[in-house]
Amino acid sequence: MDEHTRPAGAAAPPGGPRAAVVGHVEWTTIAGLDEVPAAGEVIHADRLWQGPAGGGAVAAVRLAELTGDCTFFTALGDDHAGRRSRVELERRGVRVLAAPRPGPTRTAVSLVDRRGERTTVTLGERLQPASADPFDWTELASFDAVFFTAGDAALLREARRAGTLVVTAREFTTVLESEVRVDALVGSGCDPAERCDPALLRRLPGLVVSTEGRHGGVFTTGGLPPRRYRPARAPGPLVDTYGVGDNFAAVLTYALATGSTTADALALAAEHGAACTVRRGPFPAAPAPARRAAGV
């Protein structure tokens, strides 16, 4: 067992785990249409939702709802999108520590068709925190849980000082370069950008999860043969799938930090992911009170 990993079944600190996210944000517009346009087509779409999104921002909001507080280490441009992102995230209970960047904050447009499937286009460079930013990175050691979606290898090594470290599979190259052992590596088996080979890592993650949407997913622990976990039933008809994976990863991080078993952590993460499919956008339209279990 890694010296930074909370033993299975260990109790979380009073008041629940202290959580942080290290990653990126994109000011996102979700637009609804019947079908994604073909080449050369001109179509109309209705704006359904707008707000700070991207893996880091979505996870930070979910962890703030679960624990009552979440610190988000990120980077923002000095522009309207960056300022709006900060205001909206803080309104949702997220403590935002953002390194300033001279360029614009990345934006995105996500097109949701009548089947609820989303196709996303990002605009601009992804801004991410870096170990060279003037933050006290030793603070990361004080967190019970850290979810990492963007940053450099040196910053990931700092994040490893937290009790539980979960990393998106999109940052597999960073994990490889850092040579740290992560507690969980999670990604979508349906997204080519999130497919990776953990066998290439010097130190195998404690848990590797590959999600498959409505079909559940596959996980491995300690290098053992892969097993499947069951999908959760959505609490209503499908609306859209934006943010499902990010909510899943955030809740998985929370559950592992509380000492949940792998099976219980995956079940809770799947439940929250399924709940995300019945609403517009990655989180509720209005800030929700803090809660620590699905359905509460």
**Does residue 171 form part of some domain?**
yes
**Does residue 60 form part of some domain?**
yes
**Does residue 283 form part of some domain?**
no
Q: How many CA atoms are closer than 13 Å to the CA of 140, on its beta-carbon side? A: 25
Q: What are the structure tokens assigned to 86, written together?
A: 């900060």
Please check whether residue 51 is in contact with residue 281, taking contact to mean a CB–CB distance below 8 angstroms.
yes
Q: How many domains does the chain have?
A: 1
**Does residue 4 form part of some domain?**
no
**Does residue 5 form part of some domain?**
no
CB atoms under 10 Å from CB of 195, counted, come to 14
Q: What tens-digit pLDDT sequence spans the chain (296 residues)?
A: 343 333 333 334 445 799 999 999 999 999 988 888 888 888 888 888 999 999 999 999 999 999 999 999 999 999 999 999 999 999 999 999 999 999 999 999 999 888 878 888 999 999 999 999 999 999 999 999 999 999 999 999 999 999 999 999 999 999 999 999 999 999 987 878 788 888 899 999 999 999 998 899 999 998 799 999 999 999 999 888 889 999 999 999 999 999 999 999 999 999 999 999 999 889 876 655 444 443 33
**Does residue 3 form part of some domain?**
no
For residue 177, the Cα-to-chain-centroid distance in whole angstroms is 21
**Does residue 135 form part of some domain?**
yes
Please check whether residue 212 is in contact with residue 250, taking contact to mean a CB–CB distance below 8 angstroms.
no
In angstroms, the CA 157 to CA 138 distance is 11
In angstroms, the CA 229 to CA 240 distance is 22
Residue span of the structural domain in which 84 resides = 19-33+47-276
CA 94 to each of CA 14, 117, 212: distance values in angstroms, whole numbers, following the listed order? 20, 28, 29
CATH code of the domain covering residue 131: 3.40.1190.20
pTM metric for this prediction = 0.89
In angstroms, the CA 215 to CA 226 distance is 15
In angstroms, the CA 195 to CA 187 distance is 7
**Does residue 95 form part of some domain?**
yes
- In the sheet that holds 107-112, the strands lie side by side as 46-53, 26-32, 107-112, 118-123
